[in-house]
Chain A
């Protein structure tokens, strides 16, 4: 099936892909707190899913403060945006930007010089529904906060991934967002920016600490790596690679999202990173 998809996507018509046999999944990536890594997660998860052959559409729902285009390195290719589509100024196909790295990945950028209250909630729902007919995954990058932008980002989604950093303030915000989402979205958790050495010193919340409060199915744990800042600034998602801890972690998350039975992330993470760090520091505890 994946080969079939790839062959079709190679067609010059770009986003004109045959309708999917069944509806794709619409997943909102949210957090409450800003700066915890929603956009980076959306870009990398989308890339990792596309690398598996899935057809993926990413929607930047952060009207006025868009960034997903930058993280994907597509900012100079954005001609039209979400509001142009919602307001029927252009067709969806005209607005979708084809990713330069992954053939089955497309982006619908947010409007930069518009406001979030200009989004029509019902039209947003219909737009996501339309994309689900053509893509295996629709990932919606939610803005920070729980105002209108949040409401419009979740309206078309049927699942949620919540991103949280191991900080008390982020945990509190995620807790609030999970409460607002309710059960309908079956929220799953990604813990981002973990620093195992700080956890070891007792200076950072551990994966267990965070999830003792949130109690959500854990999709994955991503370490705090300067590489993420670098790849984000360059517009080349780390998940384009297949080597290294962090890239592998994104691919494992994509596999879990796709329903594969990948070993639980937390112990795997501890073994690979904590033991390595332990050996570097000679097992010394600070």
Chain B
């Protein structure tokens, strides 16, 4: 059976799509799944950096599409996770170098030998977005609890609904102390606006900048709080009922569970 194909998207840039793709992929691989991560951000690739694999790139997505190499030749295996591989984007090409149907067929091929194909979508809703979504059967929308990010996410949810893709939501970079002081929207607020199934809440953590810069997904550190959170998201994706982590915010997650059960 072919693997699941999930696009990680957001509309707004810089909300954590690439970090989420890398860590969720690593968490799924750690649990024994065969995972292929595809960087759809042609011209502005970064997934290779986040995973520390930039020096090992030989071929890229566009070269696969153009038939210059086989898919398996372009896949870079992550040495830290046996069953994790990435398909890098081309850095010196434009997003219109490939079509939606070409992208779709590469993803379908990747899914033949994987349990999960996670597609790291570029920011925006232009051609790069359309390609990334064309290859997917499911979507994870990443947003931060900021008005601008939520507005962009809402626009993207609308576009995904048009294509009838099932959507799950990750709220990234939550600062519980700011939620408490009323300076940041709560997860509950975000879920209410977007009305999609919540699959994870990730607190703001300066560690992520450092691990990202060093190319070491935080999932690698068994003690890291965020690593544990990504593993929980992986388990939820696999269909397990996993309680949400509390960030010491009173009554906050109780309400959330109510909302989830109701959904």
Contacts and interface: CB of A to CB of B under 8 A. Distances in A.
A235 B178 CA distance: 17
Contacts of B206: 195, 198, 203
Contacts of B49: 168-169, 172
Interface stretch (B8-16, B28-36, B68-76, B229-237): B8-16
Nearest to A180: B43
Interface stretch (B99-107, B125-133, B217-225, B245-253): B125-133
A217 B192 CA distance: 44
Contact residues on B (Cβ < 8 Å of other chain), bracket: 35 or more
A232 B148 contact: yes
Nearest to A116: B126
Interface in A27-76: 32-36, 39, 64-65, 67, 70-71
A194 to B, nearest CB: 11
Contacts of A32: 44
Contact of A65 (B46, B94, B155): B155
A229 B146 contact: yes
B209 A143 contact: no
Contacts of A173: 44, 46
B212 A168 contact: yes
A144 B124 contact: yes
Contacts of A145: 13, 43-44, 95, 122-124, 126, 128
A167 B185 CA distance: 26
A168 B47 CA distance: 11
Contacts of A39: 148
B184 interface: yes
B119 to A, nearest CB: 16
Nearest to B18: A169
Contact of B50 (A117, A149, A169): A169
Contact of A70 (B94, B125, B147): B147
A147 B95 contact: yes
A162 B248 CA distance: 38
A189 B185 CA distance: 31
18 contacts: A34-B123, A34-B124, A36-B14, A64-B125, A65-B11, A71-B148, A115-B125, A116-B125, A144-B13, A146-B44, A167-B212, A169-B50, A172-B44, A172-B49, A176-B43, A198-B210, A203-B210, A229-B184
